[in-house]
Structure 1
């Protein structure tokens, strides 16, 4: 069951990435990010209020947000800091790079998760899983050659390093999620609500220094319908992902790889919507990544 929940998470993440590309085009990254996370927080706020006043009903519908100790708040705040840094780098990269380059690089995330799952959680991959992961990495390297034809030189482009950094931080957060869900026994909605709360606080502090005092930047900001939609789709994807992680049999390295199937939506649909170059050539490494995911599922 946890694999199917992972595929649902991938579906909503793919749609989330398309909306994110639309939201950041020609826009300031920090206010867009604040708008998306705030939208996710507002989506979850009624569940928190309901948990305070209608506890039994919220438990019945499985959306009760638990009271948690101060130490657990600290653990969630750490996750918020990791993901805030990851998103800032990813949004900046997405603003300056084609979605058909950014998304495949982010698909290397399972490799970092794979290493962490072996060393930290002692998950044991079989031969198919080894082949699948290295096939994903090799396919991502193929994208670097295609990127050069679009004037994107991977060794000299700072936004490439930004998306690589974002990928590493995102993978670290994925490993941390298993600790939060399984070791601390947090339910998905409790983790999501407080994660959004602390991330909004972090972003408000950043914006207080970089955006709010600057009148020109505030005037240049363009509100788009895709901004709140990004936040809503992300929370739906995270809910399915965290529900999958609640299963004690769930392997974080496999879940991370399954989530990469979102690339199908980003490369095929995103390439058409945003009229990006070399879409057919990008289908070759895309096929390699999908084959890697298939091998992991098959195993």
Structure 2
């Protein structure tokens, strides 16, 4: 069941990436991200209020948000900081790079998750997992060659490094999620980390964007901004629910979720008419083969 939920989350994440790319086209990054945290918080606010004011209405459903003290919320605040760091780097990178390049780079996150599990939890890779890691490294090398055809130098382009940093923070978040789901209710974590992110982004917009908004890229409204929050919230809800299941494995869930690259790649080709698709398809194939071997090694 949790594996099926992971595939569902992957499809939703793919559409999330598409709407994110569409929203950021010629748009100011920070207010787009700020509105994303606002809409995501508004989605969960009714569940928090109903669970507190009229608990019997949600008590026996998967949407119930139990009351929790500081002992729980301090862990959720850390989660918010990690996720928001990943989002800020990821949004800026996404705005300035082709979706058909960003997607495959993000798809290497399961490799980072495996390495993190190896370093932090003392896990050891088997032969299939090592093949998956090697394939991912090869795909990154091929992606750097594809990027050069578009004038993007992987080692000197800061937006590439933004995407890499976003992936590193995302990996840390994924490893942390498994710990959170083993100890706390998934609705408590998801609903409150969105609320905390809203306050954090409010500070960023108030002190960093508003004073300089007239000298930077102007902000314009797009309905795609709302769809970012809808698809991300749905993807994360399914993801957290999958991780909360006793036999779920973060290495496999993380790997399956990166299957979102297929959706984002197709839309990058069809909607945004991005270049050098033939070489990028080869890169994508190496990513998918690597993910397949990670799956084999994690069974």
Q: TM-score range by the shorter chain?
A: over 0.9
**2: CA distance between counterparts of 1:27 and 1:117?**
37
Q: C-alpha displacement at 1:76, in angstroms?
A: 0.7
**2: CA distance between counterparts of 1:2 and 1:202?**
32
**Measured at CA, do residues 215 and 252 of structure 1 come closer, stay the same or move farther in structure 2, by a change above 3 Å?**
closer
Runs (4+) of structure 1 exceeding 6 A deviation are none
Match of 1:195 in 2: 193
Determine if the alignment matches structure 1 residue 139 to structure 2 residue 104.
no
CA contact (8 A) 2:110 2:251 kept: yes
Match of 2:263 in 1: 265
Q: C-alpha displacement at 1:242, in angstroms?
A: 0.8
Match of 2:102 in 1: 102
Match of 2:294 in 1: 296
**1: CA distance between counterparts of 2:185 and 2:130?**
31
Match of 1:247 in 2: 245
Deviation string for 1:16-46 (max 9, x for gaps)?
0000000111111110001111111111111
Output aligned runs, 1:203-282, within 5 Å: 203-214=201-212, 216=214, 220-282=218-280
- Bigger shift: 164-173 or 124-133? 124-133
Match of 2:113 in 1: 113
**Measured at CA, do residues 189 and 153 of structure 1 come closer, stay the same or move farther in structure 2, by a change above 3 Å?**
same
CA contact (8 A) 1:28 1:217 kept: no
**2: CA distance between counterparts of 1:57 and 1:293?**
42
Q: C-alpha displacement at 1:112, in angstroms?
A: 1.5
Q: Secondary structure at the match of 1:146?
A: helix
Question: Given the two structures, how large is their TM-score scaled by the length of structure 2?
Answer: 0.94
**2: CA distance between counterparts of 1:272 and 1:49?**
42
Output aligned runs, 1:25-40, within 5 Å: 25-40=25-40
Q: Secondary structure at the match of 2:121?
A: coil
Q: Secondary structure at the match of 1:40?
A: helix
Q: Secondary structure at the match of 1:209?
A: helix
Deviation string for 1:84-103 (max 9, x for gaps)?
11111111111111111111
Structure 1 unaligned spans of 5+:
none
**2: CA distance between counterparts of 1:123 and 1:43?**
37
Q: C-alpha displacement at 1:212, in angstroms?
A: 2.2
Paired residue total:
297
- Bigger shift: 251-260 or 125-134? 125-134
CA contact (8 A) 1:32 1:227 kept: yes
**Measured at CA, do residues 263 and 257 of structure 1 come closer, stay the same or move farther in structure 2, by a change above 3 Å?**
same
- Bigger shift: 270-279 or 245-254? 245-254
Determine if the alignment matches structure 1 residue 56 to structure 2 residue 83.
no
CA contact (8 A) 1:174 1:256 kept: yes
Q: Secondary structure at the match of 1:8?
A: helix
Q: C-alpha displacement at 1:266, in angstroms?
A: 1.0
Question: Given the two structures, how large is their TM-score scaled by the length of structure 1?
Answer: 0.94
Q: C-alpha displacement at 1:124, in angstroms?
A: 4.7
CA contact (8 A) 2:98 2:268 kept: no
Q: Secondary structure at the match of 1:197?
A: helix
**Measured at CA, do residues 125 and 54 of structure 1 come closer, stay the same or move farther in structure 2, by a change above 3 Å?**
farther
Q: CA RMSD in A?
A: 1.7
Q: C-alpha displacement at 1:56, in angstroms?
A: 2.3
Match of 1:154 in 2: 154
